[in-house]
Amino acid sequence: MFVGLWVRNMAVKTVLIVYAHQSAGSFNAAIKDATVDVLKNQGCNVLVSDLYEMNFKATATKDDITGAVKNSEHFCYGEETMLAWQEGRLASDIVEEHKKLKEADIVIFQFPMYWFSVPAIMKGWMDRVLTLGFAYTSEKRYSAGIFREKKAMLSFTTGSHETMFSSNGINGDLNVTLWPVQNGVLNYCGFQVLAPQVFWAPTHLSSEARDSLLKDWRTRLQGLLSEVPLSFPPIDSFDEVKGFQLKPEVHEKQADSPFGLTVGHHLEKPLPPHSQMKAGV
């Protein structure tokens, strides 16, 4: 049993980096390269999906299905791709990403923030690869999600300074901006969501200051795989019979807190500080 435990702990971890920058000379490329380097040195198996290099198809179309669609008059992407997945008729590029995702213990999304979100090519990866049936069903989602044994995180550069992405800053609180992706994509599929790694406005920094950010990231990477994830309410906090509303007992339990549960489940109270940015808060 001791040996079994040892083997499990020492098992090679697989990391999938979903990477979206057009240029190998970019700071995003340098971050990605540092990630590959540190994790390989830890003995991890590192896979990289370099979306621009792969000329990754971003749009969800009929071409994602080989053979006939079920209802060509009213094509529903979700249903049709679920069927194609069940029948082994999904486009080969989606199947390739499915393989990587199945292998992965952790997925790191590396990108420059575009319009308060991921670039379209990365949104396309999410739209196409997180196939209904493969990545979620109406029963298997959130803490009951298909990927609940896996971890995922966002690592990105911004164009704006940190202070501008605060509650007092012109762009508003970054915790709010991150909610749809961290809750609506990652947590939705069951991933344990690690705190994001934010590289603030690197184009405004000297090359020494950027090196220092990379050094901090390398340090974080040493312990990344054992980090505690961000906190989201488990799915049994909600009553399925009552339209997935928060159970009264969970609501009551939160009554003494000055804060809501999460950014989205704020319960008409102030948002819990940093809840999409730091674990254990």
Residue nearer to a copy of itself on the CB measure, 43 or 236: 236
Selected binder of a copy of itself within 36, 60, 144, 279 (CB under 8 A): 60
Q: Which of 41, 61, 86, 212 binds a copy of itself (CB under 8 A)?
A: 61
What is the CB-side half-sphere exposure of residue 141 using CA atoms within 13 A?
16
The answer to the question of residue 234 lying near a copy of itself (CB under 8 A) is no
Instruction: Name residues contacting a copy of itself, limited to 66-125 (CB under 8 A).
Output: 73-78, 114-121, 123-124
In terms of C-beta density within 10 A (0-12 exposed, 13-18 middle, 19 or more buried), how is residue 89 classed? middle
Cβ contact 37:221 at 8 Å:
no
62 binds a copy of itself (CB under 8 A): yes
Q: Does 205 bind a copy of itself (CB under 8 A)?
A: no
Cβ distance to a copy of itself smaller for residue 59 or 86: 59
Interatomic CA distance for residues 141 and 136, integer angstroms = 6
Tell me, what DSSP letter sits at residue 55? T
> Binding to a copy of itself by residue 280, rule CB under 8 A?
no
- Rounded distance between C-alpha atoms, residue 275 and residue 260, angstroms: 10
Q: Which helix (H) or strand (E) holds 16?
A: strand 14-19
Nearer to a copy of itself, 61 or 257 (CB): 61
Binding mask 121-140 for a copy of itself (x = CB under 8 A): x-xx-xxx-x----------
Contact with a copy of itself (CB under 8 A) among 85, 111, 179, 217: 179
Could you say which DSSP state residue 184 is in?
I
User: Given candidates 235, 277, 278, 279, which one binds a copy of itself under the rule CB under 8 A?
Assistant: 235
Neighbours of 270 (CB within 10 A): 12
Nearest distance, CB of residue 201 and a copy of itself, angstroms: 11
- Sign, Cα dihedral of 44, 49, 108, 233: negative
